[in-house]
Amino acid sequence: MVRGQDIVIWNEDGTYSADVTSEKRLKVDAAIQIGAGTFVQAPPKTKLAEFIGQQVNTNILTPTAGKKIIVYGVLMDSSSTNSCCAKVNFVNGSGVLVWRIFIDKAKGNQGWMPLNIIGGINESLVVNTVNFAVTDELFIGIAYDEVD
């Protein structure tokens, strides 16, 4: 995770070693779902990121020079209680929309969707939000790989 307070230590019996809120547990559960639970074989790479407040073309992931990103799945969750929107898309080329969520005064996981979307060479993934308050948090998990 991005911030130190989001780190949770797992015990082998499935319990948490840290005193964390249920919201933080949801984030860790989401990370596990992305990393292993949804695939027969775990995706080669997983990117977890957390953002606070309004985001405009904020970089999430940039491929190694000369490579493309393949997105296998996305999960997003927000603490916002506003009617708002968050989207992940490629930039610097195709501009393909990868995933979008609409939040309408409801908290909770916005779902996991298996995908197979390929960006262009050197094309980064960014996040944009609409109507996020300065304290609203957005958690994003992306299962991906890089190809030539």
The pLDDT of residue 21 is 46
Find the CATH number of the domain harbouring 60.
2.60.120
On average, the pLDDT of the chain sits at: 75
From the list 140, 81, 145, 80, the residue with the least C-alpha distance to 113 is 140
The pLDDT of residue 59 is 95
pLDDT at 11 over 80: no
pLDDT at 49 over 80: yes
What does pTM read for this prediction?
A: 0.69
Q: How confident is the model at residue 9 (pLDDT cuts 50, 70, 90)?
A: very low
When divided into structural domains, the chain yields a total of: 1
pLDDT in tens, 19-28: 444 444 445 4
From the list 82, 90, 84, 85, the residue with the least C-alpha distance to 122 is 90
pLDDT in tens, 83-124: 888 999 999 778 889 988 887 765 555 667 778 899 999 999
For residue 50, the enclosing domain spans 4-147
| 3-state SS, one letter per residue, for 78-139 | ECCCCEEEEEEEEECCCCCEEEEEEEECCCEEEEEEEEEEECCCCCEEEEEEECCCCCCEEE
